């Protein structure tokens, strides 16, 4: 199937899961479902009923989504359907479909003058849009004596010539009535009960119910306010119920009121919107798609309630959900303002929310130890290892005393610790201000990526001998990273930290989780401990003679090795330019190349000027250096490229992450493997190469009937930011496997193995 067709069908399928049937028809101009699939039933013999669908051109029905049940008046009924056309469906796998018409036979034993049939079916259009599952009730006259037929007609069954009966709703009770509009079936209201509590009222119509476990709330009222449902033990008592859609569930048949606590970091009054996620059904009838209600509310001033370190981030995804809902409906999602004490409700679609799995909480001491180990492992990452090698090489080459070696180590460590302190202070301050940022957040800014690539490229040129930062009489020359002074060591430590941020090492996630959610002082200690772990190898070389003796003896070979180490720098610069192209397109890469040429010219001219050249070389260096600024300025103005994720870099078909898509797939009882990644994340790319690119991963997905969902965090994405915060993740990668049956997702480690992923998928599929 062409990729474009797959995208259209996927979009339509997910839209159906999120919208009521009437909204779907309005958005995509589909005809009414009863005009596309014309349903009728006729008793062709005393013990046989024929159920017929006339299917419009360009539409089809699913065999496995078709069922017919009869009441006691046609006992022991069993449905027979003809073999359909084999079809590989993107959503259900290998299925059978029907076109033009479908005739099914229902064999049973008549026990009355008429039988009531409950018919369920679902179909799609070739254009890629699927109707929601349909339920119809039909009454069919059974071949009996003429007087019995007359009696049936007198009762208002509405017979037609030949015994064919029109599609209609049975009048046996309230549950067989035509389904109500969603706004009438489920009434929702909210009011502020003081500054720290919202009172939420849910009222299902008679004969309808609301799933307790499908409820979710999020508060959109500006920075500093959030809300979440209380624990299940504090929710109103629900009725145990055997549901044909979800099995044994707890539901509300009657009106309930829920006290929703509001968490505050600011005490001032605020106006906002409560986003209420819910799903409900008609008892014995249709089940409505998941929906969201946007309820306007005004909160008076309240009391600041500090969040505990291990508390989940409630309400973090409010804005993304609201914008996504608006995008899905094509309407303005802004709710009407309401004064305190008044109720307001508007309806719209929303995904089913799944409570995030709880991560194990660690105290300060455990987090510091994890940070130390995580920082130590960072030295083995490809982004940091060349820098450490260069400093170790310069120390071995210098042949200086132990005292000077210690000074080198302390200056390098100071650069590392100062950089981690600055990075931690910035991240914690921005989070305090309400911005949700994680590890490596600065690499989401194209200008930062471009500047970092230029710095790395410039040092590569220095290692290759094109330029030197310090040239003096007597030909004592060395690049900044090989200088004997403390400034060179300090700067190398800074560069090591900058290059380390794209990497996420084991143990770092739990440590950074404490840093971002715990006390500020403890968070800063965690960042400093990460820095100490990163600087530890060089400290050991400088302070422990046994480690220093492991370094190779100085020799001419070191110059060759130094030049060779320039190529990892060039490779790092090339990778950063690739990230830049992903963020802002090919024009960004072209502008960076212009800046890189200007930088190389400036460095070369600067070296000539410092080597005794005339003022013309210095002027050329200054002009070329100024020329670096223009392409960077133009680069920053470039818009994001419009791309649609259809497959991963490894060629495995994937679905672009969105809350609606995730909810829709889970509603279809599919296993979902969510991969939150970024092009600048080295750990992410290592896992993709070692695990996701292998054929075994594709087979494991097929065996589990799982969907591979990818969230691209290369650029700033509020929806992914909210998702990461909900799961208390400090950045990417984040891997969550959602099981079949609606249970909580399982968070996988940062560093994956094929066996671990295969086992997680098998467990999620219930195998």
What does the pLDDT read at residue 368?
86
* 165 has a pLDDT exceeding 50: no
Q: Whole-angstrom Cα distance, residue 736 to residue 141?
A: 53
592-613 burial: b if 16+ Cβ within 10 Å, else e: bebbbebbbbbbbbbbbbbeee
53: pLDDT confidence band, cut at 50, 70 and 90? very high
Three-class SS state of 241: strand
Domain 3-176 has CATH 2.60.40.1250: yes
Q: What is the mean pLDDT of the chain?
A: 74
What does the pLDDT read at residue 400?
59
Domain ranges of the chain: 3-176, 182-349, 364-565, 655-764
* 322 has a pLDDT exceeding 80: no
Q: Once rounded to an integer, what is the mean pLDDT over residues 531-545?
A: 84
What does the pLDDT read at residue 387?
65
How many C-beta atoms lie closer than 10 Å to residue 403's C-beta?
8
Contact 503, 683 (CB under 8 A): yes
Percentage of the chain beyond pLDDT 90 is 16
Q: Which residues contact 670 (CB under 8 A, 6 or more apart)?
A: 705, 706, 707, 740
Higher pLDDT, 182 or 54: 54
* 111 has a pLDDT exceeding 90: no
Strand pairing report for 706-712 and 671-677: parallel
What does the pLDDT read at residue 120?
92
Q: Once rounded to an integer, what is the mean pLDDT over residues 408-425?
A: 86
What does the pLDDT read at residue 178?
65
Minimum mean pLDDT among 338-342, 610-614, 670-674: which range? Answer: 338-342
Higher pLDDT, 180 or 536: 536
pTM here is 0.42
Minimum mean pLDDT among 14-23, 165-174, 529-538, 577-586: which range? Answer: 165-174
Residue 13: closest CA among 88, 92, 67, 121: 92
Phi, psi values for residue 62, rounded to 5°: -90, 135
Residue that is written with structure tokens 């302070």 in the block:
543
* 452 has a pLDDT exceeding 90: no
764: pLDDT confidence band, cut at 50, 70 and 90? very high
Q: Whole-angstrom Cα distance, residue 411 to residue 395?
A: 13
* 598 has a pLDDT exceeding 50: yes
Q: Whole-angstrom Cα distance, residue 389 to residue 566?
A: 11
* 518 has a pLDDT exceeding 80: no
551: pLDDT confidence band, cut at 50, 70 and 90? low
Q: Whole-angstrom Cα distance, residue 375 to residue 439?
A: 13
Higher pLDDT, 561 or 577: 577
What does the pLDDT read at residue 455?
83
Three-class SS state of 119: strand
Q: Whole-angstrom Cα distance, residue 380 to residue 506?
A: 11
State pLDDT tens for residues 197-226: 999 999 999 889 999 988 888 888 776 788
What does the pLDDT read at residue 476?
35
What does the pLDDT read at residue 81?
92
Half-sphere exposure of 400 (CA within 13 A, CB side): 18
Q: Whole-angstrom Cα distance, residue 619 to residue 609?
A: 9
Cα–chain-centroid distance for residue 482? 43
State pLDDT tens for residues 705-736: 899 999 988 877 777 877 887 787 777 889 99
Q: Whole-angstrom Cα distance, residue 225 to residue 219?
A: 7
737: pLDDT confidence band, cut at 50, 70 and 90? very high
Higher pLDDT, 271 or 476: 271
Q: Whole-angstrom Cα distance, residue 645 to residue 427?
A: 29
How many C-beta atoms lie closer than 10 Å to residue 483's C-beta?
18
Residue that is written with structure tokens 């990163």 in the block:
534
Radius of gyration of the chain (CA): 33
Q: Once rounded to an integer, what is the mean pLDDT over residues 595-608?
A: 90
* 471 has a pLDDT exceeding 80: no
Q: How many helices (H) and strands (E) does the chain have?
A: 24, 30
Higher pLDDT, 634 or 362: 634
What does the pLDDT read at residue 646?
41
Residue that is written with structure tokens 């070329």 in the block:
624
Q: Which fold has domain 655-764?
A: Glutaredoxin (3.40.30)
Contact 52, 102 (CB under 8 A): yes
State pLDDT tens for residues 633-652: 888 888 877 654 444 455 57
Highest averaged pLDDT of the listed ranges 32-46, 382-396, 559-573, 651-665: 32-46
Residue 133: closest CA among 152, 120, 146: 120
Strand pairing report for 37-45 and 48-55: antiparallel
Q: Once rounded to an integer, what is the mean pLDDT over residues 79-102?
A: 86
406: pLDDT confidence band, cut at 50, 70 and 90? confident
578: pLDDT confidence band, cut at 50, 70 and 90? confident
What does the pLDDT read at residue 510?
59
Minimum mean pLDDT among 87-91, 429-433, 607-611: which range? Answer: 429-433
Residue 598: closest CA among 575, 619, 621, 577: 621
DSSP output for 161-210: GGG-B--B---SSGGGSPPPPHHHHEEEEEEE-SSSEEEEEEEEPTTEEE
What does the pLDDT read at residue 485?
63
What does the pLDDT read at residue 592?
93
User: Which token pair is 2?
Assistant: 């062409």
Q: Do domains 182-349 and 655-764 have the same CATH topology?
A: no
Q: Whole-angstrom Cα distance, residue 529 to residue 378?
A: 12
State the maximum Cα–Cα separation within the chain, in Å, rounded to a whole number.
123
Residue 187 burial (C-beta neighbours within 10 Å; 0-12, 13-18, 19+): middle
671: pLDDT confidence band, cut at 50, 70 and 90? very high
State pLDDT tens for residues 259-270: 999 888 888 888
What does the pLDDT read at residue 210?
93
Q: Whole-angstrom Cα distance, residue 621 to residue 608?
A: 9
* 2 has a pLDDT exceeding 50: no
* 22 has a pLDDT exceeding 70: no
Q: Whole-angstrom Cα distance, residue 346 to residue 331?
A: 12
User: Which token pair is 538?
Assistant: 């060089």
Give the DSSP letter of residue 361.
P
DSSP output for 568-599: HHHHHHHHHHHHHHHHH-HHHHHHHHHHHHHH
State pLDDT tens for residues 498-513: 766 666 555 565 566 6
342: pLDDT confidence band, cut at 50, 70 and 90? very low
Higher pLDDT, 409 or 716: 409
Secondary structure of 539-563 in HEC code, one letter for each residue: HHHHHCHHHHCCCCCCCCHHHHHHH
Name 225's bridge partners.
Answer: 264
629-636 and 446-463 helices cross at what angle (nearest 10)? Answer: 150
What does the pLDDT read at residue 451?
86
Q: Once rounded to an integer, what is the mean pLDDT over residues 330-356?
A: 34
User: Which token pair is 657?
Assistant: 């992450």
**For the domain bounded by 182-349, which CATH number is listed?**
2.60.40.1250
């Amino acid at each position: 199937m062409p990729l474009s067709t797959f995208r259209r069908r996927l979009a339509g399928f997910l839209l159906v899961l999120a919208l009521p049937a009437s909204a779907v028809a309005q958005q995509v101009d589909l005809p009414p479902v009863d005009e596309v699939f014309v349903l009728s039933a006729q008793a062709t013999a005393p013990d046989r009923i024929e159920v017929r669908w006339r299917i419009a051109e360009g539409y089809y029905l699913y065999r496995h989504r078709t069922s017919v049940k009869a009441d006691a008046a046609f006992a022991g009924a069993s449905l027979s359907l003809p073999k359909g056309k084999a079809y590989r469906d993107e959503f259900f796998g290998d299925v059978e479909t029907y076109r033009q018409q479908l005739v099914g036979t229902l064999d049973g034993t008549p026990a009355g003058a008429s039988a009531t049939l409950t018919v369920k079916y679902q179909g799609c259009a070739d254009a890629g849009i699927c109707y929601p599952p349909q339920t119809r009730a039909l009454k069919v006259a059974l071949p009996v004596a003429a007087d019995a037929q007359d009696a049936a007609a007198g009762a208002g069954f509405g017979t037609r010539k030949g015994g064919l009966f029109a599609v209609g709703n049975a009048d046996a009770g309230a549950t067989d009535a035509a389904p109500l509009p969603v706004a009438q079936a489920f009434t929702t209201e909210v009011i502020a009960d003081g500054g720290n509590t919202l009172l939420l009222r849910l009222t299902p119509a008679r004969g309808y119910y609301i799933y307790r476990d499908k409820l979710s709330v999020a508060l959109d009222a500006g920075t500093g306010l959030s809300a979440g449902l209380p624990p299940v033990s504090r929710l109103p008592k629900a009725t145990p119920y055997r549901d044909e859609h979800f099995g044994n569930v707890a539901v509300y048949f009657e009106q309930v009121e829920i006290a929703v606590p509001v968490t505050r970091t600011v005490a001032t009054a605020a106006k906002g919107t409560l986003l209420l996620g819910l799903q409900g059904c008609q008892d014995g009838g249709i089940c409505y798609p998941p929906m969201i209600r946007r309820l306007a509310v005004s909160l008076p001033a309240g009391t600041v309630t500090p969040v505990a370190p291990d508390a989940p981030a409630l309400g973090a995804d409010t804005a993304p959900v609201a914008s996504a809902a608006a995008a899905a409906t094509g309407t303005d999602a802004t709710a009407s303002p309401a004064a305190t004490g008044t109720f307001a409700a508007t309806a719209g679609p929303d995904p089913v929310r799944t409570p995030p799995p709880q991560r194990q909480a660690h105290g300060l001491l455990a987090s510091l130890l994890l940070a130390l180990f995580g920082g130590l492992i960072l030295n083995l990452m490809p982004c940091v290892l060349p820098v450490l090698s260069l400093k170790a090489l310069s120390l071995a080459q210098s042949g200086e005393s132990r005292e000077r070696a210690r000074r080198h180590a302390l200056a390098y460590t100071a650069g590392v610790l100062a950089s981690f302190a600055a990075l931690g202070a910035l991240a914690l301050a921005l989070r305090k201000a309400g911005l949700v940022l994680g590890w490596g957040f600065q690499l989401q800014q194209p200008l930062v990526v471009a500047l970092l690539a230029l710095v790395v490229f410039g040092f590569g040129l220095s290692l290759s001998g094109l330029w030197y930062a310090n040239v003096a009489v007597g030909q004592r020359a060395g690049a900044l990273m090989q200088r004997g002074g403390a400034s060179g060591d300090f700067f190398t430590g800074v560069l090591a930290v900058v290059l380390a941020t794209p990497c996420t090492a084991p143990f770092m996630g739990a440590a950074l989780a404490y840093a971002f959610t715990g006390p500020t002082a403890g968070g800063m200690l965690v960042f400093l401990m990460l820095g100490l772990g990163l600087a530890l190898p060089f400290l050991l070389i400088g302070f422990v003679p046994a480690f220093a003796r492991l370094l190779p003896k100085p020799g001419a070979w070191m110059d060759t090795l130094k030049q060779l180490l320039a190529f990892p720098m060039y490779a790092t610069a090339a990778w950063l330019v690739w990230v830049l192209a992903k963020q802002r397109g090919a024009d960004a890469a072209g502008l960076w190349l212009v800046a890189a040429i200007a930088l190389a010219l400036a460095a070369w001219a600067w070296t000539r000027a410092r080597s005794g050249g005339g003022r013309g070389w210095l002027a050329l260096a200054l002009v070329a250096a100024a020329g670096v600024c223009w392409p960077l300025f133009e680069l920053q103005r470039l818009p994001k490229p419009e791309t649609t994720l259809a497959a991963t870099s490894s060629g495995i078909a994937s679905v672009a992450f969105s809350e609606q898509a995730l909810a829709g797939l889970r509603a279809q009882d599919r296993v979902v493997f969510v991969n939150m990644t970024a092009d600048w994340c080295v750990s992410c790319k290592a896992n993709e190469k070692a695990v996701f690119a292998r054929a075994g991963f594709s087979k494991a997905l097929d065996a589990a009937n799982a969907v591979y969902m990818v969230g691209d965090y290369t650029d700033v994405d509020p929806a992914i930011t909210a998702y990461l915060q909900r799961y208390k993740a400090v950045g990417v990668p984040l891997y969550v496997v959602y099981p079949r049956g609606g249970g909580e997702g399982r968070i996988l480690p940062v560093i994956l193995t094929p066996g671990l992923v295969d086992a997680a998928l098998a467990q999620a599929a219930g195998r």
